[in-house]
């Protein structure tokens, strides 16, 4: 009887402890839930109060970013416009016309650099000429530059020499000699070589500056491909009445991006410029 009573008390105590534990857990759970609910409520109220401020900050930030982007775009457009203007001006300068009726501009000062073997060209033509010569040789041709940029003094010396030669070798009177000489050697101040944009190229197997050059492999290749590198045959056959210069199948002029159109049309630089002026 006493054993049964003790067991009953132990069970009651156990149940009481268990009930107490469950009650404590339930109260803690209820309290935690209340705290959580309160935290959520506080969060909502804070968010409601902060939302207008956050929106204002975000709007201000976006405004600043939009302004900065707009200014950056404006600077980019201005820079692009300047570059396009400079590029256009540079290209127009490549079309500068120098012939017996259009002497070198008084303020024109060529900026030159070496191409090969001591020959120099306008800096804009250096790399294209090097590439053209390399491609021509890679095609199996024996191409050589025999003239490029000339100073005014050098052109004067060449012209004076030609005047003397036509007088003594051809018997041309002194008063007519300069005009005759000017058909093959430009009068100083009217030579494209002084621009630094012209070069004379010959075939190693035919080192003569005469019409026989057109029959060489070098000239055949150049006449067909020079435009790819920005060069044109400056004095084509049958155009002396336009250029006043004899047919020179060795003389190439750098005109950059305009070369293809001039080549495709089969016209001289004089004719091309006349067409442009007529637009």
> What is the rounded CA–CA span in Å between residue 215 and residue 222?
12
Calculate the CA 68 to chain-centre distance: 28
- Take residue 239 and report the two structure tokens written for it: 């155009």
> What is the rounded CA–CA span in Å between residue 201 and residue 136?
11
> What is the rounded CA–CA span in Å between residue 234 and residue 248?
8
**248 part of the active site:** yes
CA angle at 66 for the pair 65 and 70, rounded to the nearest 5°: 115
Choose, from 248, 261, 270, 271, the residue flagged as catalytic. 248
- Sign of the Cα pseudo-torsion (185, 119, 154, 108, in order): positive
Q: Decide: 230 and 259 in contact? Cβ < 8 Å.
A: yes
**Eight-class DSSP state of 102:** B
**Eight-class DSSP state of 169:** T
Q: Decide: 229 and 129 in contact? Cβ < 8 Å.
A: yes
> What is the rounded CA–CA span in Å between residue 73 and residue 172?
67
Task: Quote the longest CA-to-CA distance of the chain.
Answer: 163
Strand partners, 143: 203
Strand partners, 119: 116
Of 89, 87, 96, the closest CA to residue 254 belongs to 96
Catalytic positions, please?
A: 248
């Amino acid at each position: 009887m006493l054993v049964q009573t003790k067991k009953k008390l132990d069970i009651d105590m156990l149940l009481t402890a268990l009930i107490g534990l469950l009650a404590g857990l339930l109260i803690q759970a209820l309290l935690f839930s209340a705290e959580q609910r309160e935290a959520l409520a506080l969060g909502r109220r804070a968010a409601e109060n902060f939302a207008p401020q956050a929106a204002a900050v975000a709007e201000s930030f976006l405004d600043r970013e939009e302004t900065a982007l707009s200014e950056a775009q404006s600077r980019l457009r201005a820079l692009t416009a300047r570059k396009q203007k400079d590029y256009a001006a540079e290209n127009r300068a490549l079309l500068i016309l120098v012939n017996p009726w259009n002497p070198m501009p008084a303020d024109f000062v060529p900026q030159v650099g070496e191409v090969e073997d001591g020959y120099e060209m306008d800096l804009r033509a250096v790399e294209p000429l090097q590439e053209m010569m390399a491609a021509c040789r890679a095609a199996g041709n024996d191409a050589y530059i025999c003239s490029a940029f000339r100073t005014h003094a050098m052109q004067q010396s060449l012209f004076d020499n030609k005047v003397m030669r036509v007088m003594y070798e051809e018997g041309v009177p002194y008063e007519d000699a300069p005009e005759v000489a000017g058909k093959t050697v430009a009068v100083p101040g009217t030579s494209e070589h002084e621009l630094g944009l012209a070069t004379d190229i010959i075939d190693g197997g035919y080192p003569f500056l005469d019409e026989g050059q057109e029959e060489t492999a070098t000239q055949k290749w150049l006449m067909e491909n020079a435009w790819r590198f920005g060069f044109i045959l400056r004095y084509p056959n049958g155009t002396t009445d336009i250029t006043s210069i004899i047919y020179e199948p060795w003389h190439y002029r750098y005109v950059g991006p305009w070369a293809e159109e001039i080549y495709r049309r089969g016209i001289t630089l004089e004719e091309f410029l006349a067409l442009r002026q007529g637009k």
